[in-house]
Amino acid sequence: MSASETLLASGRKLLINNYNRAPIVMSRGEGCALWDADGRRYLDMTAGIAVCVLGHGDAGLAQALAAQAARLHHTSNLYYIETQILLAEALAKRAFAGKIFFCNSGSEANEAALKLARRYQAVVRGKPQRTEIIAFEKGFHGRTLGALSVTGQAKYRQGFGPLLPEVRFVPFADAEALRAAVSERTCAVIIEPIQAEGGINLPPPGYLQELRRLCSERGALLIFDEVQTGVGRTGTFYAFEREAMVPDIVTLAKGLAGGVPMGAMLANDEVAGAFEPGSHASTFGGNPLASAAALYVQRAIDERNLLARCQETGAHLSHALLRLAERRRPKTRGVRGRGLLQGLVLESDAAPVVQKARDKGLLVSVAGGQVVRFAPALVVSEGELDEAVAVLDAALAES
């Protein structure tokens, strides 16, 4: 047997079967390329599900991790952590002012946001009756019970009930339904500024501003889940920066530490005050190693001008996908997205096309069932994007 076959046999025997894994064992990576255990190269347009913003094998990130690991890799939050404070300072210079809680994943960040919102309404505002959370159909916020409870896709919730009570789902981008839903019992509204897992769904112009106005008017908190759209993915550090409004709470993860597990919840000063010592915690949250990685990512984004680069390469990708969509009609229905979060919408299930592309050496993923998702590293080149679109074109031609 080949190296991959041997490892696959062991993995299938020992690992819980909760992932629909492709039969590939990844061994190493460099930039926007991955190699499996048998040495086959793949062009990676997934970046670990929008995580590896600097690509694979970034030398500076590896050096930052090695230096920090040799110095101090864990202490817990019983003490202040140097790299965590420096990271908080770097994030505070971005477009959201307030205080930060660090954790290990997007689900954990959203759990913290939901807990903070409930506690703020009950303890700070003295309104314990405001417990209802409004979320959106086709939304995705994570796999833990609280985050799953506000995920608007039934397939993820099946078999895990009863979940968090007092959650109401409304159609995404339906302003009238939203106005009817937010009431004196609404604790918070949680939304992705662009629904990623749900199919790269963008709200219409003005919708998020109306949402902000409505929450402010009716006393509900506004939570933006920027787990996938944040850290430069759409061409600004936060997707909300293009919307001329600011939420009360923002959650981040995925690209935050460039592939090292890390999440964060940011809240404005008033809302953040609802958490006091003992009210919430994370043993590994903001540990020295993850914080050093995230701090390096922050510096790299600025020093390499990755936000502007993402806007440029994102426009290039969008135009290339639009040309492909026109060429492959009626198999395709269009393109949607922003920056380096783009989706090619198909007339049918995207999974067979994604598999055929993988067989040809291209890694893309499915979003919302009928969308081929591109979420490459922010360092991707236009040449690599052209190569990827050409392979996808060939996959569509054979589908």
Q: What is the CATH number of the domain that holds 338?
A: 3.90.1150.10
Q: Where residue 315 falls among pLDDT bands split at 50, 70, 90?
A: very high
Angle among Cα 227, 233, 66 to the nearest 5 degrees reads 80
In 3D space, the residue among 104, 118, 337, 338 whose CA is nearest the CA of residue 223 turns out to be: 118
* Position 67 in a domain: no
Does the active-site annotation cover 237? no
Q: Quick one: average pLDDT of 366-376? A: 97
Assess whether 223 and 320 both reside in one domain. Answer: no
The pLDDT assigned to 369 comes to 95
* HSE-up of residue 34 (Cα within 13 Å, Cβ side): 22
Assess whether 231 and 377 both reside in one domain. Answer: no
Q: What is the pTM of this model?
A: 0.97
Assess whether 28 and 112 both reside in one domain. Answer: no
Assess whether 254 and 282 both reside in one domain. Answer: yes
From 273, 303, 333, the end of a domain falls on 303
Residues in the chain: 399
Residue 399: pLDDT over 90: no
Residue 259: pLDDT over 90: yes
From 276, 303, 330, the end of a domain falls on 303
Assess whether 12 and 91 both reside in one domain. Answer: no
> What's the rounded Cα separation, in Å, for the pair 83 and 194?
31
Q: Quick one: average pLDDT of 234-241? A: 98
Segment 164-171 long-range contacts (CB within 8 Å, at least 24 positions apart): 164/114, 164/133, 166/131, 166/132, 166/133, 167/132, 167/133, 167/134, 167/135, 168/132, 168/133, 168/134, 168/135, 169/134, 169/135, 169/136, 169/137, 169/139, 170/134, 170/135, 170/136, 170/137, 171/136, 171/137
- Token couple for 181: 């839903």
Q: By the 8 A CB rule, do 45 and 363 touch?
A: yes
- Reported as a single tens digit per residue, the pLDDT across 77-132 is 999 999 999 999 999 999 999 999 999 999 999 999 999 999 999 999 999 999 99
* Position 65 in a domain: no
Residue 153: pLDDT over 90: yes
> What's the rounded Cα separation, in Å, for the pair 315 and 318?
5
- Reported as a single tens digit per residue, the pLDDT across 283-303 is 999 999 999 999 999 999 999
- Reported as a single tens digit per residue, the pLDDT across 45-85 is 999 999 999 999 999 999 999 999 999 999 999 999 999 99
From 303, 332, 354, the end of a domain falls on 303
Q: Quick one: average pLDDT of 364-393? A: 98
Q: Where residue 338 falls among pLDDT bands split at 50, 70, 90?
A: very high
Assess whether 259 and 135 both reside in one domain. Answer: yes
Cβ neighbour number for residue 269 with a 10 Å cutoff:
9
Give the distance from CA 68 to its chain's centroid. 26
Angle among Cα 42, 43, 45 to the nearest 5 degrees reads 125
* Position 391 in a domain: yes
Q: What is the CATH number of the domain that holds 169?
A: 3.40.640.10
Cβ neighbour number for residue 165 with a 10 Å cutoff:
9
Assess whether 390 and 343 both reside in one domain. Answer: yes
Residue 1: pLDDT over 90: no
Angle among Cα 348, 194, 349 to the nearest 5 degrees reads 10
Assess whether 37 and 182 both reside in one domain. Answer: no
Assess whether 282 and 189 both reside in one domain. Answer: yes
- Token couple for 119: 């506690």
Q: What per-residue string of b and e applies to 220-234 under the rule 16 or more CB within 10 Å gives b?
A: bbbbbbbbbbbbbbb
- How many domains in the chain? 2
Does the active-site annotation cover 269? no
Q: Which of 36, 58, 225, 248 is catalytic?
A: 225
Residue 208: pLDDT over 90: yes
- Domain, as residue range, for 330: 3-57+305-397
Q: Which of 254, 275, 356, 374 is catalytic?
A: 254
Residue 212: pLDDT over 90: yes
Classified as helix, coil or strand, 379 is coil
The pLDDT assigned to 296 comes to 98
> What's the rounded Cα separation, in Å, for the pair 28 and 34?
6
Q: Where residue 226 falls among pLDDT bands split at 50, 70, 90?
A: very high
| % of residues, the chain, pLDDT over 90 | 99
* Position 62 in a domain: no
Assess whether 42 and 173 both reside in one domain. Answer: no
Q: Where residue 203 falls among pLDDT bands split at 50, 70, 90?
A: very high
* Position 341 in a domain: yes
The pLDDT assigned to 47 comes to 98
Q: Bridge partners of 341?
A: 338
Q: By the 8 A CB rule, do 172 and 138 touch?
A: yes
* Position 66 in a domain: no
The pLDDT assigned to 244 comes to 87
Assess whether 274 and 342 both reside in one domain. Answer: no
Assess whether 48 and 82 both reside in one domain. Answer: no
- Token couple for 161: 């009930």
- Token couple for 283: 């043993």
* Strands 186-191, 341-346: pairing kind: unpaired
Does the active-site annotation cover 374? no
Q: Which of 96, 101, 102, 140 is catalytic?
A: 140
* Position 63 in a domain: no
Residue 229: pLDDT over 90: yes
Residue 397: pLDDT over 90: yes
* Position 325 in a domain: yes
